[in-house]
Amino acid sequence: MIEQILTNKVTEAVKTLYQSDAAPSQIQLQNTRKEFEGDITVVVFPFTKSSRKSPEATASEIGEYLKSNMEEVESYNVIKGFLNITVKKDYWLSFLSTNYGSANFGFRDVSSSQPVVVEYSSPNTNKPLHLGHIRNNLLGFSLSRILQSAGKKVVKVNLVNDRGIHICKSMLAWQRWGNGETPESSGLKGDHLVGKYYVIFDKYFKQQIAGLVATGMYAEEASKKAPLILEAQQILQKWEAGDKEAVDLWKKMNGWVYKGFAETYKTLGIEFDKTDYESQTYLIGKKLVEEGVQKGVYTRREDGSVWIDLGAEGMDEKLLLRSDGTSVYMTQDLGTAMQRYDDYKPEQLIYVVGNEQEYHFNVLKVVLKHLGCEWSESMYHLSYGMVELPAGKMKSREGTVVDADDLMQEMFDTSEAMARELGKIDSFDDEEAKTLYRTIGLGALKYFILKVDPKKNMLFNPAESVDFNGNTGPFIQYTYARIKSVLRKAAEAGYEVSFAPSGSVELLKPERELLRKIHDFPAIVTQAAELHSPAIIANYAFDLASEYNRFYHELTILKEENLSSRALRLSLSQFTAKVIANALWLLGIDVPERM
């Protein structure tokens, strides 16, 4: 890579010219801004201390040194403290000809021995997936692909929260008001059916609370004493005791939900290597807590509850086990983490979980450390922000959640309407058209969500998310499809899409800009993996597509009569298509051959 060579040569220049060692952090390279001539810019301000000359003079001296000592340098110019280097076209052309046919340009082979474990999705089994889960799923899936492409072995894990009081609420409501309704009899997706009874529970529960409050009870007390919640707790106790009736119902309803989830995951296009269930891992956690008590790092109180005091770490006292011996959230996560470590000895253990749980994960890390698990340092919480709606926050109880299945269907419908309006599918058969609606609808949704920095809260505006113009997934997909069309036309005309480097071919500005952009891709993948941010890839993909569109409009391709130029532009187009496809693949977005 040219950047590496340049870094070395600049170090050498500073050493030779000023008898001084430049620290790696002092060597700042950046892409030259478009309004100036050049490809790569060296910022020379850091060297003026050792040169004891003006920034301009320093830049000129280094520029002169590079020009005579580095064969890739064509020329240079100096503006203030910025040394703009123009790289020889031979470098660019050889970069193009050696890489344009490579299927996995920008991706590294998997080289790590220990895997990175990415846990994401992690749904509760009492209601269907919603918009918040979509952000989670897309981030987790995309991050997995990014890490893998940066050379990591990746294991994608889903941790299903299949036990607890919330499930029992749905079970109770179904027993009482369900009349034996099943997904088959109702025509509802399993997860939606179970979610329906969760809502029914809540409705009657609220009525009971209101009734108790009317008799003079405080609301807080009423919510603990309402008959429905007491019954749900009884079911939970029965379940923990292994009561057959409770367990059978639990299995049946969870089965419906899993079927529904599987469908949603499939439509969304995400998958897992392994699925864990909390009903199986919470016991490991309990054992760990016992161990901690025996080691004396956790303390058991008189009532039987177990605590850890994290005052020394600037945190609170934290409950690890209830007085009745049942486990809490932290207990389960301890168990799950330990199991992950035992199974994989991961290089890094990544949790894709909302930022409202930041404190929880900080505590989890420290609690494990107290147990002597130094590996807890390798846990990384990818803490993403909430998805807000124009009307405000999503609240399941107020019916303001955006259901995942509904949302995807809406995207498909909109893309269909749009494609018809634009007359895009006249030559498509039904099957191909349907695939296109899905590809584009999902492309719009995924890009809309992934282009935002994970850690930030984001606003989901339904009207804007179905927009297919501008900075959107479909714009990028369209750029790809158009390149494919050009390549098809070229093949029909008998032009060969191959590039033989030739000294006589010119490299015009739009071509050079496009090549520079493509040249950045491998570095972008590395950066995205380091920062755990699919948004970096998304924004890059848009920049690249924009760059191609400028190239496309400024230069003819098929009508170009100079053979070398046409070959250059065709191979450049093909290269761009490949990189766009690779970038979108990292985001889990498919590309259409035609649109």
Partner RNA sequence: GGCCUCGUAGCUCAGUGGAUAGAGCAGCAGCCUUCUAAGCUGCGGGUCAUAGGUUCGAAUCCUAUCGGGGUCACCA
To which H or E segment does residue 274 belong?
Answer: strand 274-277
* 470 C-beta neighbours (distance < 10 Å), count: 9
Name the H helices within 160-277.
165-177, 183-186, 190-214, 219-225, 227-240, 244-268
Nearer to RNA, 115 or 285 (CB): 285
Q: Is 471 in the site for RNA (CB under 7 A)?
A: yes
**Taking Cα atoms as reference points, which of 512, 506, 520 lies closest to residue 567?**
506
Q: How far is the CB of 121 from RNA (least distance, A)?
A: 13
Tell me if 396 contacts RNA by CB under 7 A. Answer: no
Question: Residue 161 interacts with RNA (CB under 7 A)?
Answer: yes
Q: Which stretch, 210-218, 259-267, 339-347, 455-463, contacts RNA (CB under 7 A)?
A: 455-463
What gap in Å lies between CA 148 and CA 145, rounded to an integer? Answer: 5
- Considering the rule CB under 7 A, would residue 319 count as an interface residue with RNA? yes
- The CA distance from 358 to 382, in Å, is 9
- Residue from 424, 517, 532, 578 that binds RNA (CB under 7 A)? 424
Element (H, E) at 535: helix 534-554
Among 456, 498, 502, 523, binds RNA (CB under 7 A): 456
Stretch that binds RNA, among 94-102, 343-351, 374-382, 411-419 (CB under 7 A): 411-419
The nearer residue to RNA, 188 or 545, going by C-beta atoms, is: 545
Name the segment binding RNA (CB under 7 A); options: 258-266, 284-292, 403-411, 419-427: 419-427
Number of Cβ within 10 Å of residue 8's Cβ equals 12
How do the residues of the chain divide into helix, strand and coil, expressed in percent and rounded to 5? 60, 10, 30
φ, ψ for residue 30, nearest 5 deg: -145, 160
The rounded Cα 392 to chain-centroid distance in angstroms is 24
Is residue 313 a contact partner of residue 369, using CB atoms and an 8 Å limit? no
Q: Name which of 95 and 542 has its Cβ closer to RNA.
A: 542
Scanning residues 559 to 588, which ones bind RNA (CB under 7 A)? 559
The minimum distance between CB 387 and RNA, in angstroms, equals 8
d(CA 103, CA 471): 26
How far apart are CB 180 and RNA at their closest, in Å?
Answer: 28
What are 24's two structure tokens?
């790696």
Query: Near RNA by CB under 7 A, which window of 4-12, 13-21, 173-181, 450-458?
Result: 450-458
355 sits near RNA (criterion: CB under 7 A)? yes
Q: Under the criterion CB under 7 A, does residue 418 sit at the interface with RNA? A: yes
CA dihedral 433, 437, 439, 443 (to 10 degrees): 150
Residue ranges in 98-157 that form contacts with RNA under rule CB under 7 A? 124
Q: Tell which positions 485-524 bind RNA, by CB under 7 A.
A: 485-486, 489
Strand partners, 349: 117, 379
Q: Which tokens in the block code for residue 342?
A: 């035992």
Yes or no: say if 110 and 148 are a contact pair by the CB < 8 Å rule.
yes
Residue 461 found at the interface with RNA (CB under 7 A): yes
- CA angle at 288 for the pair 282 and 289, rounded to the nearest 5°: 95
Closest distance of CB 477 from RNA, Å? 8
User: Whose structure tokens read 């011996």?
Assistant: 325
Q: Which is nearer to RNA, 50 or 161 (CB)?
A: 161
Q: Which of residues 163-182 bind RNA (CB under 7 A)?
A: 164-166
Contact in structure between 229 and 223 (CB atoms under 8 Å):
yes
Q: How far is the CB of 362 from RNA (least distance, A)?
A: 9
Question: Shortest distance, CB of residue 327 to RNA, whole angstroms?
Answer: 7
* 433 lines the binding site for RNA (CB under 7 A): no
- Name which of 334 and 536 has its Cβ closer to RNA: 536
Binding residue for RNA, selected from 71, 316, 432, 530, defined by CB under 7 A:
316
Q: Which stretch binds RNA (CB under 7 A): 94-102, 335-343, 366-374, 533-541?
A: 533-541
Output the smallest distance, CB 483 to RNA, in A: 8
Angle (CA) 26-29-32 rounded to 5° is 145
Nearer to RNA, 188 or 334 (CB): 334
Q: What is the DSSP letter of 22?
A: P
Which of 143, 146, 535, 584 touches RNA (CB under 7 A)?
535
CA distance 561 to 450: 41
Q: Which lies closer to RNA via its Cβ, residue 82 or residue 197?
A: 82
Structure tokens at 229: 């919640």
**Of residues 262-291, those binding RNA (CB under 7 A):** 278
The two three-digit tokens of residue 541, written as one number: 């993909």
Binders of RNA among residues 194 to 223 (CB under 7 A) are none
- CB of 311 closer than 8 Å to CB of 317: yes
**Least Å from the CB of residue 583 to RNA:** 14
CA nearest 73: which of 89, 95, 59?
Answer: 89
Q: Report in angstroms how near the CB of residue 430 gets to RNA at its nearest.
A: 15
What minimum distance in Å lies between the beta carbon of 26 and RNA?
Answer: 8
CA distances from 580 to 11, 110, 338, 471 (A): 34, 21, 39, 14
Q: For the CB of residue 135, give the shortest distance to RNA in the complex, in Å.
A: 11
Stretch in the footprint of RNA (CB under 7 A) among 176-184, 211-219, 343-351, 413-421: 413-421
310 binds RNA (CB under 7 A): no
By CB under 7 A, residue 453 contacts RNA: yes
Tell me: does residue 345 bind RNA (CB under 7 A). no
Q: Per-residue b/e over 414-442, b at no fewer than 16 CB within 10 Å?
A: bbbebbeeeebbeeeeeeebeebbbbbbb
Question: Judged by CB under 7 A, does residue 401 bind RNA?
Answer: no
Stretch 64-103 residues interacting with RNA (CB under 7 A): 79-82, 84
Q: How many of the chain's residues bind RNA (CB under 7 A)?
A: 89
Out of 419, 442, 567, 583, name the contact with RNA by CB under 7 A.
Answer: 419
Which residue lies nearer to RNA by CB, 271 or 316? 316
43, 81 in Cβ contact below 8 A? yes
> How far apart, in whole angstroms, are the C-alpha atoms of residue 148 and residue 116?
9
Question: What is the x/- site pattern for RNA, positions 22-51, by CB under 7 A?
Answer: ------x-x-xx-xx----x-x-xx-----
Using the rule CB under 7 A, give the single segment among 139-147, 189-197, 299-307, 582-590 that binds RNA: 299-307
List the one residue out of 485, 476, 484 whose CA is nearest residue 544.
476
If the CB atoms of residues 72 and 333 are measured against RNA, the closer one turns out to be 333
- Tally of CA atoms within 13 A in the half-sphere of 72 that contains its CB: 18
